[in-house]
Structure 1
Amino acid sequence: MSDNQSLSELYLTGSLPPEIGVTQLPQTLKMLSLAVSKLEHDPMPDLGKLPNLNILRLFARSYLGKEMTCQSKGFPALRVLKLWMLEELEKWTVPEDSMPLLRELEIRCCENLRETDGWQRLSSSLKELILTNMPPTLVKDINKREEWDKVRITVNTWDFDPLPLDTAKA
């Protein structure tokens, strides 16, 4: 897949075979969406190396790990990041020099996300933060920080049907 240098947008649904991991993605990608990929290893270090990536959407069960860590100087062109229904995610770390152009961050139904390290620094470039069905302690922490004053923050509480059980996992 990495040889396809004309590919700029990719939406993958379903498990990625080990031989086609995120390291095999074309460097030309500008938009990437993953859903039900069941990645067990943190994809952020490799995805952060995609030099043209503007939009990254990690949807339901795209990543099954508990921790996600962006690398220093990662995601140089990223403007939109959406993290939806990453059920196991507990901790997300973002170094100060990662995602320098991020404008929109949406985190939806990552109900175990309790520990964030460094992503508050994103507030210098961020214009919009959308939190949907997130832990109240996380929302409260963000709302009380002065560095988020210039960011439009939207907090939603919506009712969603639960995701079907993952029978392949059981």
Structure 2
Amino acid sequence: MFGADKGTGDRLDGKELVIGIVQARFNQGVTNTLAKACWDELLARGVQEKNIDHVVVPGALEVPVALQAMAEKGGYDALVALGCIIRGETYHFELVANESAAGVTRVALDYQLPIANAILTTENMEQAIARQVEKGRDAALVAIEMANLLDDVA
């Protein structure tokens, strides 16, 4: 039946979940805030601290390989990608933004594992700062909801 979704309420319970977080260090002020907001929301939704693994990599291009290693290891219900790419004056922004996003998506599809992609792509630092807390929280919610959803449909 169309619209017979059980809603997000039941799917935002993280008590039984194991979550992995990969954080890019580049633009660390922003990515640290993303990570804190993500952690805070995961804990608020019942994910136990012992069930959260958090690794830090140099930059956004390194995020997918760390996600892949975590997926290979197994035992995760969902993963979170955190980073911050700010447009500069060269083509490098597009390269990093496109390739990191493609890598995150490829890992999610290859391993059938939900990955919340919170690698910010902004025009400037002000935009990144304005989004850092909300997107960190959103990433936690997406990870929890998708982990529970996939558990329901699998």
Same fold (TM > 0.5)? no
In proportion to residue count, which structure has more helix?
Answer: 2
Compute the TM-score of the two structures, normalised by the length of structure 1: 0.27
The higher-RCO structure (CA 8 Å, 6+ apart) is 2
Compute the TM-score of the two structures, normalised by the length of structure 2: 0.29
In proportion to residue count, which structure has more strand?
Answer: 1
